[in-house]
Amino acid sequence: MGAGRIEQIGTPREIYYHPANRTVAQFIGTLNRLAGQWRDGALATTGGTIVTPHAADEWFFRPEDAQLADPAHAPLRGAVGACAFLGERTRLTIEHAAPDALVIDVPGRIALARGTAVGLTIAPEGLIALGA
């Protein structure tokens, strides 16, 4: 729903993984935004460059579609801003990898201190280009 209108009809899985627009995507679950300049098959953003399926200056992904990687070799780099233990998973806030802080979920046994340098990879199937 957006402004009193139905924005998309579908199963919860369809709406979560294939939202029609940003309003729908934000209505169900956490959403991360990568913004920058798209050129030659990749998006250049604050913390690095990621290959994308097609041209768009703004991409989105869910917390579970990111993975920690070696910062020296990862397409995106940032620093831990916060670390919250949630049982089977840990939710990290990553700063400086994109214009906005990113939220990612990692296994619960992972605990990183604020300021720790991290690298990120994003699952290609998790990248979503959305309209307004």
What range defines the domain where residue 47 resides? 32-126
| pLDDT tier for residue 97 given thresholds of 50, 70 and 90 | very high
Residues 5 and 16 in one domain: yes
pLDDT tens by residue, 60-83: 999 999 999 999 999 999 999 999
Residues 5 and 64 in one domain: no
Q: How much is the pLDDT for 26?
A: 86
pLDDT tens by residue, 52-61: 988 898 999 9
- Nearest CA to 92 out of 115, 73, 76 is that of 115
Considering only CA atoms, give the Rg of the chain. 15
Residues 63 and 14 in one domain: no
Residues 42 and 89 in one domain: yes
Residues 72 and 18 in one domain: no
Residues 85 and 55 in one domain: yes
Residues 66 and 100 in one domain: yes
Residues 21 and 86 in one domain: no
| pLDDT tier for residue 131 given thresholds of 50, 70 and 90 | low
DSSP letter (8 states) at residue 125 = G
User: What whole-number distance in Å separates Cα of residue 3 and Cα of residue 100?
Assistant: 25
Is residue 132 in a domain?
no
Considering its fold, how many domains does the chain have in total? 2
Q: How much is the pLDDT for 53?
A: 87
